[in-house]
């Protein structure tokens, strides 16, 4: 009896060990989700992780009930991004659909645009443009969406009602010296025309007046520090000429920018390509595009 009892206990111990080994072959996921990555196959041997060597990855389980999009925001714009702001997300796999979401996380470390590394990982200084990671949580993710899909987002950082706005391409920059020079040149030409008109009545006196006027237009403000100051503004059309007018701006949209001071509703401004506005001078003569198109051939 003692012999059979010891054999029974030994068999129970072996069964308990086998059951324990069987339990260790089954791993339960801590979350409910979908297997999005399965890098191993049946029959492969897996290596457990130790202190200085990471273990093998069996699979990746993703909780698809909450879908987020990670986007990069330029360093000049991230200061306006705050948690909870509404967004519109476009997923490349769903080109005809736009999904609403909210900003749920804003990165605190800058990422280099070329390599994606954080500035903390770079040992040397860099003047390269940087981005910040912003996480957006989708409100109603589409069915069948998978991790890794490419997406882009538009974040609404501010809203203005009944705001005065102009196209972004109408905004330009000029130096104070260029504006002053254009003013003097225009004044000199105007004075010369007036002097030439008076020449029919007083020839000798008109020539002296024109000479004096021309001399008055020569001095420049080369030594004045204000002459090198750059001013942001737009060109307003008045009497057929483009007058440069400084403006103050507010929030910036995708195609328009808010004007808080310097313009009034109904002002006619000059807009066009960057090259055209860069070459346009203060007080230069301009024509409307439709007038140019209807102009008879010369």
pLDDT of residue 200: 58
Contact in structure between 217 and 210 (CB atoms under 8 Å): no
pLDDT digit string, tens, across residues 265-286: 999 999 988 888 888 988 888 8
* Cα distance between the two ends of the chain: 127
* SS3 assignment, position 269: strand
Sign of CA dihedral 247, 252, 258, 260: negative
Report all structural domains of the chain as residue ranges with CATH numbers, in order of start: 68-155 (2.40.30.170), 165-183+222-293 (2.40.420)
**Residue 271: C-alpha distances to residues 112, 152, 212 (Å):** 34, 29, 38
The separation between CA 135 and the C-alpha centre of its own chain, rounded to angstroms, equals: 16
Q: Residues 49-65: what's their mean pLDDT?
A: 83
Residue 112 pLDDT level (bands cut at 50, 70, 90): confident
Q: Is the pLDDT of residue 193 over 80?
A: no
204-247 tens-digit pLDDT: 554 444 444 444 444 444 556 666 788 999 999 998 899 999 99
Lowest mean pLDDT of 48-52, 190-194, 258-262, name the range. Answer: 190-194
pLDDT of residue 78: 92
Mean pLDDT of 244-264: 91
- Between the ranges 60-69, 122-131, 147-156, where is the mean pLDDT highest? 147-156
Give CA separation, 273 vs 110, 160, 190, 252, 263, in Å: 33, 27, 30, 18, 21
Confidence band of 203 (pLDDT split at 50, 70, 90): low
Q: Phi then psi for 276, rounded to 5 degrees?
A: -65, -50
**Number of other residues whose CB lies within 10 A of the CB of residue 101:** 23
Which backbone phi and psi does 170 adopt, to 5 degrees?
Answer: -80, -15
Q: Report pLDDT for 180.
A: 86
Model confidence at 293: pLDDT above 90: no
Q: What is the pLDDT of residues 151-173, one digit of tens each?
A: 999 999 998 888 899 999 999 99
Least confident among 21-35, 83-97, 164-178: 21-35
pLDDT for the residue 216:
42
Beta bridge partners of 247: none
Phi, psi angle pair for 90, to nearest 5°: -115, 125
pLDDT for 207 equals 42
pLDDT of 124 higher than 60: yes
């Amino acid at each position: 009896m003692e012999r059979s009892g010891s054999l029974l206990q030994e068999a129970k111990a072996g069964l308990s060990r086998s059951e324990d080994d069987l339990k260790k072959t089954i791993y339960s996921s801590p979350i409910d989700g979908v297997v999005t990555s399965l890098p191993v196959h049946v029959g492969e041997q897996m290596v457990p992780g130790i202190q200085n060597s990471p273990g093998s990855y069996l699979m990746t389980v993703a909780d698809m009930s909450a879908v987020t999009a990670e986007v990069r925001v330029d360093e000049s714009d991230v200061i306006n991004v705050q948690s909870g702001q509404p967004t519109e997300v476009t997923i490349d796999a769903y080109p005809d659909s736009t999904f609403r979401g909210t900003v749920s996380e804003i990165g605190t470390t800058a990422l280099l645009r070329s390599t994606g590394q954080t500035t903390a990982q770079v040992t040397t200084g860099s003047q390269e443009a940087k981005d910040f990671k912003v996480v957006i949580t989708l409100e109603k993710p589409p069915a069948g969406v998978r991790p890794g899909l490419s997406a882009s987002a538009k974040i609404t950082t501010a809203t203005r009602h009944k705001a005065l706005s102009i196209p972004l391409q109408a905004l330009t920059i000029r130096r104070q010296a260029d504006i002053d020079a254009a003013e003097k040149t225009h004044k000199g030409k105007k004075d010369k025309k007036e002097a030439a008109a008076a020449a029919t009545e007083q020839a000798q006196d008109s020539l002296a007046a024109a000479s004096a006027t021309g001399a008055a237009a020569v001095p420049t403000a080369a030594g004045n520090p204000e002459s090198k100051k750059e001013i942001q503004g737009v060109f307003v059309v008045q009497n057929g000429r483009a007058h440069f007018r400084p403006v103050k701006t507010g929030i910036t949209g995708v195609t328009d920018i808010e004007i808080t001071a310097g313009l009034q509703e109904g002002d006619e401004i000059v807009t066009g390509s960057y090259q055209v506005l860069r070459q346009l001078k203060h007080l230069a003569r301009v024509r409307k595009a439709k007038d140019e198109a209807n102009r008879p051939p010369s």
